[in-house]
Amino acid sequence: MIGDVHGCGVHLERLLSLVDRWFPGARAVLVGDLFTKGPEPGRVVRAIMDRRASGLRIDIACGNHDLRLLGAIVRMQSGANLDLLPRTERVAVELLQRAGLMREATWILTETCDRVEVRHPRGAWTVMHAGIDPKLGIEGTPDTTKVHLKALEGEPNWWERYDGSDGLIVVGHRPVVEPIILRDADGAPYFANIDTGCAYGGALTAYCIEADQLLQVPGDGLPMPGMEVPSAFRGLLRGGQRVAG
């Protein structure tokens, strides 16, 4: 499971190499938000395509920024001027066009936006972008909530009310400086947030459920110019690759 990539292509390449070193042939599942905010969405496209071309499986859950970017692309295809798109989407489109990978990115986004969650076949875990309403559970929570749910500033996050009754749920969406893994009384994980803000200078994080192990590639501390950076990441600078377990 890999947290929000947000256009950090080099970091995704490095993290996938790290995953392959520790867990050869592993299936990768991305929690969504693939291309916007970061400097190299084209390399994200290539990393996904190359992995699949090599015969390795990579699945993707829909993120809110994936929906926004695909919507912007559809508007462009209908004749909208690029300059009229919101800045985040406009920059991502420009970078993808520059890389010559607009068509391939659109294919990936179309696939991604059609899949709200990725589930273990026997229900041991579920990956989605944002989360669930604990009162409704996975089955009762609307798809739009699973993609967009985020507590307002000062309010508790949904996972603070989650009791693990739907098994392990892995999400991103709300960037945190360090991964959050909640465990039951026996030490088994029932929640993980692995969005560690790579686009803001934090790490890109993978969580291997079977080994209960985190792998991380640090960010470079240099967000894209003009990006609004969450307060927890302001001034953050990481150096050197690390493995956390």
- Residue (of 121, 143, 12) closest to 2 by Cα position: 12
Q: What is the mean pLDDT of the chain?
A: 92
Report the alpha-carbon distance of residue 31 to residue 112 in Å, rounded.
Answer: 10
Q: Let me know: does 205 contact 214? Beta carbons within 8 Å.
A: yes
Specify if 48 maps to a domain. Answer: yes
Specify if 3 maps to a domain. Answer: no
- Say what percent of the chain tops pLDDT 70: 95
Q: What is the dihedral of CA 222, 202, 37, 26, to 10 degrees?
A: 130
Residue 221 confidence (pLDDT) above 70: no
Domain count, the chain: 1
Specify if 231 maps to a domain. Answer: yes
Report the alpha-carbon distance of residue 144 to residue 93 in Å, rounded.
Answer: 24
Q: Which domain holds residue 19?
A: 9-244
CATH code of residue 161: 3.60.21.10
Instruction: Give me 108's structure tokens.
Output: 């990936």
Specify if 1 maps to a domain. Answer: no
Specify if 4 maps to a domain. Answer: no
Instruction: Give me 16's structure tokens.
Output: 């996938």
Confidence of residue 242 (pLDDT cuts 50, 70, 90): very low
Confidence of residue 7 (pLDDT cuts 50, 70, 90): very high
Specify if 171 maps to a domain. Answer: yes
Confidence of residue 70 (pLDDT cuts 50, 70, 90): very high
